[in-house]
Amino acid sequence: MLLLTLRQTLLPAKTRVSLILPRRLNRMASTTIINPPRDPNTLSNYNNFRTTATAVDVEVDFSKQMLKGKVSHKLQSITDAATNEIILDSSHVLIKDISVGGKSHKDFELLARVEPYGSPLKITLEKGIPLSDFIDVSITFETTSKCTALQWLTPAQTSNKKHPYMFSQCEAIHARSIFPCQDTPDVKAPFKFTVKSPLPVIASGIADSSNPTTASSDGTSQTYHFTQSVPIPSYLYAIASGDIGFAPIGPRSTVATSPEALSAAQWEFKDDTERQLQAAESVVFPYKWGQYNILVLPPSFPFGGMENPIYTFATPTVVSGDRQNIDVIAHEASHSWSGNLVTNASWEHFWLNEGWTTYIERRIQAILHDNNDAWRDFSAIIGWAALTEAMEHFGEDHEFTKLVVDLKGKDPDDAFSTVPYEKGFTFLYYIEKLIGKDTFDKFIPHYFKTWEGKSLDSYDFKDTLLKFFESDASTSKKLATIDWDTWFYKPGYPPKPDFDTSLVDGVYALAKKWETFTRDPNSTDFTPKPSDIEGWTGNQLVVFLEAILNFSSPLPTQHARYMGKYYSLVDRENVEISSRFYQVAMISRDDSVKGKVVELLGQVGRMKYVRPLYRCLVQIDRTLAEETFEKNREFYHPICRNMVQKLLSGVKGGKFNG
Ligand code: BES
Ligand code: ZN
């Protein structure tokens, strides 16, 4: 009976749990897993024990490029089966010692590796732990060269070439390659961080006021402490250490980056960060994390941004000198509610993180443009173009084009694409239009309050929405028309919203002229000239280039060259523009951009740019693509390296953002 009650708490009745584990996992875990977990991408037995607090104490060893230290978890038994085995995720981590309840404990083993989930660490206890009792487990570990979460840069690989640098990227399932843990977004715990390093350290917690602010003069290690008292999942554990300086960008915000890049970064963010936060607060509720800071990373950072709490990690391409890419910050700041406070229970429901975040991000855009919703539609139109590319890449009946995907036995990195962002956004936008914005606005804070500090799946979302409007007959009637199964499980495009195109009409008109010109230059008096794009924002150029990329046939080579020349699209500081133009050019078989592409691929490791560029380059010059990859292999983050490798060897999937 008790088991049933717990089962109901852990697995809401309407949850579609996978009752069949992949065979290999089943064999391995058959004796210990009581309830099938709702996250198929963890090998931990988190349905037997739950992490309630974690402390990670590490030393940064730049010379050996490793972290060594100790992770301590306070686990609580959550079944009355009194299980005596604790299974934690771990991947390529060296285990030195284990203690249980403060005493050295020898009965542990690393189980055989199960790709892509790692080698689970099994700790066998002398006796089972009764329901609700706690047990302290500490593991002394070292990371290895196969760690997928960390990137280590030698001084030569950094911008000022003076000091080494290291940073982590744990989403989705890479935290397990730093320390053994229940590496699932379905488990959240407060964290304490202790980091010893000879260089300044940043982490996803609040820094102790006693932390050093500069490196020691003699190069010896100093100790930094951070506390994250809001419970977070393991994927939000983050640290970075290197030659980092700090500058204020708002009343609760600091930007951190390499000292010589600091003033440019400060200028990029100082006028907007606080406004973005306040806009998000007006849509949801007050910010819960104390500070909101931004760390601008070295160029190999594989994402545009990563929503590590307290410190968003951002690509240096955001600092483009024109404030045209600060929407990345609106996005990452929005994760402070969707993702970080309210978290997807598994990567199968990733749209709850990214779709909601994209929705809030676009509400911010509108608010900051005098509440003009044309601005959020402008951003949504760009998103729809990216969705189109993803659909074309995967094929419209591919599993990964569903809102809720099946990731059993799969690597979440392979499933990531714009689909959860854009299909998720489209779903929320559809619901908003269906019941009216004012009505939906009442639901937003309720949803975030209800799930704050917890993890949920798509069925919980549905229940929360329907329940909230239960006593409102007219809204309930509208909600009853939602075809949930189609939204959740049908692959391919969702219905296209009726976007306000006022900010892109001129852009489409110009694209149309190019299309006619391309089809038959004699049928039109159009001649491209620089003034065609005068006064355009970066994003308008992005929409234009997306439209060109969507032409049914590529531009003739010569036309692509004209375009690059007249619109000065080569060598643009704003990589959103230059990388898209290079794609246009390569698809048009314009070999003259190859040199620029190779140059960019050696300067920027953001996957959003790297992957489409390799995908085009390999089409026109496989040898050059392979050579370029070999040359930059070490420059790329392990996640990016792995993705490009898959791409070059022709493995489908593993596509991120177009
Ligand atoms: N959480 C993501 C980045 C991520 C996704 C890391 C999947 C690991 C696995 C982040 O919030 C994000 O969406 N970044 C985007 C920013 C963009 C949508 C403004 C990116 O990196 O391009
Ligand atoms: Zn995101």
Give the closest residue (by CA) to ligand 1 atom 10. 306
Residues contacting residue 184 through CB under 8 Å, at least 6 positions apart: 37, 39, 41, 42, 44, 46, 89, 233, 234, 346
CB 386 within 8 A of CB 425: no
Task: Decide: 331 in ligand 1 pocket, CB within 6 A.
Answer: yes
For ligand 1, whether the C-beta of 657 sits within 6 Å is yes
Residues 6+ apart with CB under 8 A from 392: none
For residue 327, give the ligand 1 atom closest to its CA: 19
- What is the model's pTM? 0.91
Which of 142, 307, 332, 546 is an active site residue? 332
| Amino acid of residue 102 | G
- Contact (CB, 8 A) for 417 and 388: no
Kindly give the number of the ligand 1 atom that is closest to the alpha carbon of 235: 8
CA-CA distance, 462 to 279, in Å (whole number)? 26
Nearest to 417 by CA among 104, 586, 172, 591: 172
Q: Which of 354, 359, 611, 639 to mutate to test the pocket of ligand 1 (most atoms within 8 A of CB)?
A: 354
The rounded Å distance from CA 355 to ligand 2 centre is 8
Asked whether 67 and 61 are in contact (CB, 8 A), the reply is yes
Rounded (10°) CA dihedral 205, 210, 213, 219: -110
Per-residue model confidence (pLDDT) at position 237: 98
Please work out whether the CB of residue 172 comes within 6 Å of at least one atom of ligand 1.
yes
Does residue 303's CB lie within 6 angstroms of at least one atom of ligand 1? yes
For 590-624, the pLDDT digits (tens) are 999 999 999 999 999 999 999 999 999 999 999 99
Q: Does 414 sit in the ligand 1 pocket, CB within 6 Å?
A: no
Candidates 535, 154, 538, 571; CA nearest to 318 is 538
Q: What are the backbone angles phi and psi of residue 57, rounded to the nearest 5°?
A: -120, 110
pLDDT at 19: 32
Residue showing tokens 């607090």? 53
pLDDT value for 7: 30
Q: Which atom of ligand 1 is nearest to the CA of 335?
A: 11
User: Ligand 1 pocket, 593 CB below 6 A?
Assistant: no
How far apart (Å, rounded) are the C-alpha atoms in residues 514 and 517? 5
CA of 306 to the centre of ligand 1 (A): 6
447 part of the active site: no
Ligand 2 midpoint to CA 306 (Å): 7
Q: What is the dihedral of CA 262, 266, 267, 270, to 10 degrees?
A: 180
State the Cα–Cα distance between residues 246 and 269, nearest whole angstrom: 13
pLDDT score, position 616: 96
Extract the runs of DSSP E, i.e. beta strands, from 383-519.
455-456
Instruction: Name the catalytic one among 237, 421, 429, 609.
Output: 421
Q: Ligand 1 within 6 A of 416 CB?
A: yes
Residue listed under structure tokens 């990371």: 143
* Count, residues in the chain: 658
Return phi, psi of residue 623, to 5°: -60, -45
**Residue 335 in contact with ligand 1 by CB distance below 6 A:** yes
Asked whether the beta carbons of 309 and 316 are under 8 A apart, the reply is no
Q: Which of 331, 348, 579 to mutate to test the pocket of ligand 1 (most atoms within 8 A of CB)?
A: 331
The strand ranges marked E within 398-494 are 455-456
The residue whose C-alpha atom lies closest to atom 1 belonging to ligand 1 is 306
Is-contact 71 139, C-beta < 8 A?
yes
pLDDT of residue 34: 52
Print the SS3 string covering 188-249.
CEEEEEEEEECCCEEECCEECCCCCCCCCCCCCCEEEEEEEEEEECHHHCCEEECCCEEEEE
Q: Is the CB of 302 under 6 A from ligand 1?
A: no
CA dist 106 → 45, 97, 119, 142, 180 (Å) = 20, 8, 18, 18, 16
Distance 335 CA to ligand 2 centre (A): 7
Task: Report, in angstroms and rounded to the nearest whole number, the Rg of the chain calculated over CA atoms.
Answer: 25
Three-state DSSP at 505 gives: helix
Beta carbon of 171 within 6 Å of any ligand 1 atom: yes
Q: Which residue, judged by its Cα, is nearest atom 22 of ligand 1?
A: 304
Give the tens place of pLDDT for each residue, 196-247.
Answer: 999 999 999 999 999 998 888 888 999 999 999 999 999 999 999 999 999 9
Cα separation, 285 vs 243, whole angstroms: 35
Residue 359: active-site member: no
150-153 and 222-232 beta bridge pairing: unpaired
Residue 345: is the preceding peptide bond cis (ω within 30°)? Answer: no
C-alpha of residue 501 to centroid of ligand 1, in Å: 26
Q: Which residues pair with 392 in a beta bridge?
A: none
Closest-approaching ligand to the CA atom of 327: 1
Block means of pLDDT (10 residues each) for the chain, 658 residues, are: 32 34 37 70 97 98 98 96 94 98 98 97 96 97 97 89 95 98 98 98 98 89 98 98 97 97 98 98 98 96 96 96 95 98 98 98 98 97 94 96 98 95 98 98 98 98 98 98 98 98 96 92 90 94 93 93 94 91 96 95 94 95 97 92 92 41
Which residue is closest in CA terms to ligand 1's atom 2? 306
Residue 504 φ/ψ region, left for φ over 0, alpha for ψ in the -120 to 50 degree band, beta for the rest: alpha
